[in-house]
Structure 1
């Protein structure tokens, strides 16, 4: 694609990076076949290729974002399926993130939209506020018929009850069981800590059982993904720097072999810290180092070597491949291999490349499209006749479970069970066949 940015525009690092991305696009349209919103809506402007044209026009002209551009960029899930499909290696992720930052800077949204986004940006990354808001949502359900459409969707997604907060999420060190083979820092996350703290507990049990010392570092918190994808760059960068400082202190202290992430949406963002902070001389090198050190939990378990001790659990698992894992991190076969090694019968889900509609805050900001994608995903999962669903991202787990009766679990919960941990509560009736 030809571009015509001026030399003055190209002096801006964001414009320079977007220019390189735009020039790689050859207009082939392969991305349209795998874009969830184009599959649903059939509108070229709701495809990656169409959005690329809108973003090019906005950035190249130095224009404030228009309502049309905002509408179609907002509909993008950032599922990154287009990047898997693209034969020209167009980094759509960096382009759409730049567009969102430009929109945040130049476009004045309607008042209710601004308020909603600001509330989400403040509440979701803060476990205390998030827990409090979910308790309020119980009351909100009584008056759901009176609420605006988006607020009604938010209240509907709130769980009926919340598990108690877990002690594992506070800063501390979990010693390796037996000989220490690795020392890793684990991101405990924000929303996941509230919605399902057992995921972190299962991750720690799994890692320590396999010889890892696990550090929950002082000062580490939200990865910044939620606000980053809302275009709030300053907030996202502040959160990234807090994590980088916390993990660098551990790296330079007793050392780290990896930063382990068990929420793939967070993992995609943390692995990209080097790019996010590339123009900040005080942070660029440290950000790149932390990004290179970051690994999904399945990558670490593959290196450690899974040691099943419970034999073959009598459970068939439908594996849902989170977009941020398969498209963002290019991790596809590994989780299924580990589940198979653990003794589970693993089934693929039809249309596995299509997003479930969670996508960070997407199911809150675009509830109608999100619900359509969820229903499509749930129908495909149901067709497998599996006993349970496994996935590697908390957003997917919440989204899918809102429309499915089968147990929906994090991959690590199943791996923990198969290697000597407790059976997940939702599978309490399924007894493992001991070897």
Structure 2
């Protein structure tokens, strides 16, 4: 489409990229066919094509209102539209530019500002988040129903011992910010399975939140600062030969893989950020490249029927749709078919908190689809999706690597003795 940016828009750091993206859109509307919010609301402005028009208008100097902000806020950033688009429109990058500009022009109500500030204060800090979660669980019966729904009723599966680094092949692993409290055994299970494959996980305690929470709540500079701190924390191990940076949460993985682009204009961090993005791997990428026949899980794996929910950040952002399913099948798991697997569950980072009504409808639709094959359990690859789906109180939801780890231990009890002394993170 043709563009005519105003002088302010032309001066934005990402103006050239935004204009290129806008010009690549041919108005075909294929994106609306797979957009979750368009499917629910049927409003052109709540689909990618309509949002692209809104962003084009604001960059061309048209008036911007709370209505513009609402339609951009309602986007899940699931990137399903990018998978569908025949023209390769990089919608999420344009959305980042548009949201930041709307945030500059439109003053949010106090309630929204406080909520977003609270999310940015609590979520990226594991100690703060963990303490508040523990308090929330204790007071859960006394809280309003809407708040109760956001607090998992059951305590998470506790973290089990991790192996000490003992192999020549070594990787880093992002611990995450909410995962240590909501699903503490996920990374421990990943470390044990990787150890079984001859790969050791190096602790990097200085690394923290990936930065996605700040960045996607329009505090973009704060998100980039977190990225810089992580790069600093990982860099000594990278220089010492760590072969990859593994993420077990696909949302974090998608963001870390974007560090190179996000910091491309930073004279100090551009080269390092590009290297970190090159080394970033979702856990399934590491697993899929290994000889899984050495893992004797088949007999125990087949005893459980699994419905796998592929997070949007895995299938649309990282383009790894079907990868986890392939690994699980190789290991002997019984997978049920899931209709409309491309659609978002409604978690989308903080979306389930900022847009609870839409998130709830999307979750109900996703749970119904996942339960079609009557699975014993639902597996996923992102802690946000796991918590959101499990909050429905229906079929239990776990991270897929925990199921693999448990099947391996059941198949080889002596394996636990090979793990060695545990370390804590």
Rounded to whole Å, the distance in 2 between the matches of 1:154 and 1:291 is 37
Does 73-82 or 210-219 show the bigger shift? 210-219
Q: CA deviation at 1:421?
A: 6.5
**Cα RMSD (Å):** 2.1
Q: Secondary structure at the match of 1:318?
A: strand
How far off is 1:228 after superposition?
Answer: 1.0
**Cα shift at 1:139:** 6.1
Give ranges in structure 2 of 5+ residues lacking alignment.
413-425
| Corresponding residue number in structure 2 for 1:251 | 238
Offset from partner CA, 1:290-313 (integer Å, 9 cap, x none): 011101000001112223213322
Aligned partner of 1:132 in structure 2 is 131
Partner-residue secondary structure (3-state), 1:217: coil
Query: Which of 374, 384, 399 in structure 2 is aligned with 1:395?
Result: 384
Structure 1 counterpart of 2:97: 98
Which whole-Å CA distance do the structure 1 matches of 2:114 and 2:411 have between them? 42
Map 1:416-435; keep pairs closer than 5 Å: 416-420=405-409
CA separation of 1:326 and 1:10: change in aligned 2, threshold 3 A:
same
Q: Which residue of 2 aligns with 1:242?
A: 229
Deviation sequence 1:108-163 (CA, Å, 0-9, x none): 11001100110001101111111222234346644544xxxxxx534322012434
Q: Report the Cα distance in structure 2 between the residues aligned to 1:6 and 1:109, rounded to whole angstroms.
A: 24
- Give the alignment's TM-score, normalised by structure 1: 0.89
Q: Quick one: structure 1 residues 337 and 226, their matched pair in 2 at CA, closer, same or farther if it must change by over 3 Å? A: same
Pairing partner for 1:378 from 353, 362, 367: 367
Alignment match, 2:255? 269
Summarize the Cα distance change of 1:126–1:8 in structure 2 as closer, same or farther, 3 Å threshold: closer
| Partners of 1:377 and 1:167 in 2: CA distance | 30
1:175 to 162, 165, 175: 165
**2:198 aligned residue:** 211
- In structure 2, how many angstroms separate the alpha carbons of the residues matched to 1:422 and 1:206? 13
Structure 1, residues 186-210: CA drift from partner, whole Å, max 9, x if none? 0000111110101011011011111
Unaligned runs of 5+ in 1: 146-151, 424-435
Counting only pairs closer than 5 Å after superposition, residues 330-345 of structure 1 correspond to structure 2 as 330-345=319-334
1:67-106 correspondence runs (5 A): 67-106=66-105
CA distance in 2 between partners of 1:161 and 1:361 (Å): 21
8 Å contact kept, 2:157–2:183? no
Alignment match, 1:155 = 148
Aligned counterparts of 1:110 and 1:407: Cα–Cα separation in 2 = 37
Report the CA distance shift for 1:208/1:26 in structure 2 as closer, same or farther (over 3 A): same
Who is 1:47 aligned against? 47
Name the count of aligned residue pairs: 409
Query: 1:29-48 alignment to 2 at 5 Å?
Result: 29-48=29-48
